[in-house]
């Protein structure tokens, strides 16, 4: 059923919002009103709630409509809203995102909650975030653990630039150290951590082509592609992690929901690791596997 209203004779902010929400719905956009709100509030540099309050009856001038049309066109081409506005909320933090980094997902908050639970018993937890991307995990953990010492690594210089800016924005730059290198390569020899966290690439290569266009064509494949079986990076994280954990330290890794059995099988093959229960995300899907390091 057609939901796009007839264009008004005189555009107001409220009229523009309502017309665009209907237009996006007609085009099959998953969250038409939300996308319309976020993009219009970005153009007007206001809060979404203001679109229904103080800005609702305000005239929508040609510059506003032109800038809005550009964003709506790019959204219909498949570009994610987070890249269009340059930000995404994660664990109640507004984070900068660019096409150099994966867009943080709510499912990854499962990792943050798990680390916060474990770290409450540690006076000065040492944490390593491997493959930090936007820095969402490192920044959220540093923000919520004032005594923590956080190190974050990434192979991408551009991603580390985004992560550093997020750390600065949220006042934790002095407590988060960023290192450029593949997985653990940049971590100084001899360093060990109480907690190692990672959201690695875990999508099998053959599945990349079938992803939603916003993911497949816009997000960095290096942060998505987990190799032929999805476990290429996972296996290296697990194998090398033993050399960077303190005794009783914990390794926590995000997985795709169909991967739990294989992930646990890989972890169980190491006698130094004690396998803990899998953690589930907000939707009830397996999301984080974890082990404790018990050498000898």
- Please say if the pLDDT value at position 3 is more than 80: no
Which residues, at least 6 apart from 34, have a Cβ–Cβ distance to it below 8 Å? none
Does residue 198 sit within a domain? yes
Mean pLDDT (the chain, rounded): 96
pLDDT classification of 5: cutoffs 50, 70, 90: low
| Domain membership of residue 114 as a residue range | 88-293
Distances (CA, A) of 47 to 16, 42, 103, 166: 16, 8, 21, 20
Query: What is the predicted pLDDT for the residue at 146?
Result: 96
The CATH number linked to 126 is: 3.40.50.150
Q: What is the DSSP letter of 221?
A: G
217 and 136 together in one domain:
yes
Q: Answer yes or no: is 140 within a domain.
A: yes
| pLDDT value of position 2 | 60
Residue 49, domain member (yes or no): yes
285 with 164, same domain?
yes
> Both 176 and 56 in a single domain?
no
Is 5 contained in some domain?
no
71 and 199 assigned to the same domain: no
**CB 106 within 8 Å of CB 282:** yes
Q: Phi and psi of 289, rounded to 5°?
A: -100, 150
Whether residues 259 and 136 share a domain: the answer is yes
SS3 44: helix
State whether 24 and 107 are in the same domain: no
CB–CB of 260/278 below 8 Å?
yes
Lowest mean pLDDT among 6-15, 140-149, 182-191: 6-15
**Per-residue confidence band for 8, with pLDDT thresholds at 50, 70 and 90:** confident
Radius of gyration for the chain, computed over Cα atoms and rounded to the nearest angstrom:
22
Mean pLDDT confidence for 221-237: 97
Q: Where are the beta strands (DSSP E) in 131-232?
A: 149-154, 176-180, 193-198
Per-residue model confidence (pLDDT) at position 6: 74
Query: Is the predicted pLDDT of residue 197 greater than 90, yes or no?
Result: yes
Give yes or no: residues 203 and 68 share one domain.
no
- pLDDT-based confidence at 1, cuts 50/70/90? low
User: Mean of the pLDDT values across residues 131-157?
Assistant: 98
Q: Are residues 47 and 95 in the same domain?
A: no
For range 85-107, the mean pLDDT: 97
- Residue pair 4/23 in contact by the 8 Å Cβ criterion: yes
Question: Using CA atoms, how far apart are residues 231 and 148, in angstroms rounded to an integer?
Answer: 30
234-289 residue pLDDT tens: 999 999 999 999 999 999 999 999 999 999 999 999 999 999 999 999 999 999 99
- Res 109 pLDDT > 60: yes
Question: Does 100 lie in the same domain as 168?
Answer: yes
Indicate if 152 and 66 belong to the same structural domain.
no
Does residue 163 contact residue 134 with C-beta atoms inside 8 Å?
yes
pLDDT at 7: 77
Q: SS3 helix, strand, coil % of the chain, rounded to 5?
A: 45, 20, 35
């Amino acid at each position: 059923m057609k939901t796009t209203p007839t264009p008004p004779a005189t555009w107001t902010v409220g009229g523009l919002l309502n017309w665009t929400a209907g237009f996006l719905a007609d085009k099959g956009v998953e969250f038409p009103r939300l996308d319309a709100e976020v993009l219009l509030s970005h153009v007007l540099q206001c809060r979404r709630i203001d679109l229904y309050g103080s800005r609702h009856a305000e005239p929508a001038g040609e510059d506003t409509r032109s800038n809005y049309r550009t964003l709506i066109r790019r959204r219909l081409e498949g570009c994610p809203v987070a890249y269009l506005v340059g930000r995404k909320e994660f664990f109640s933090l507004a984070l900068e995102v660019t096409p150099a980094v994966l867009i943080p997902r709510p499912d990854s908050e499962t990792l943050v909650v798990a680390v916060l639970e474990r770290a409450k018993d540690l006076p000065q937890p040492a944490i390593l975030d491997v493959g930090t991307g936007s820095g969402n995990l490192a920044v959220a953990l540093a923000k919520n653990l004032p005594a923590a010492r956080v190190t974050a690594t990434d192979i991408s210089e551009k991603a580390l630039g985004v992560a550093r800016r997020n750390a600065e924005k949220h006042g934790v730059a002095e407590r988060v150290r960023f290192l450029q290198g593949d997985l653990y390569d940049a971590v100084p020899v001899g360093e060990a951590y109480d907690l190692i966290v990672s959201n690695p690439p875990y999508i099998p290569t053959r599945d990349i082509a079938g992803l939603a266009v916003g993911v497949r064509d816009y997000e960095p494949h290096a942060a998505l592609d987990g190799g032929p079986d999805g476990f290429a990076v996972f296996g290296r994280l697990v194998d090398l992690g033993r050399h960077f954990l303190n005794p009783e330290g914990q390794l926590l890794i995000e997985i795709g929901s169909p991967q739990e059995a294989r992930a646990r099988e890989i972890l169980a093959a190491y006698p130094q690791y004690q396998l803990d229960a899998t953690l589930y995300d907000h939707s009830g899907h397996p999301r984080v596997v974890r082990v404790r390091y018990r050498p000898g």
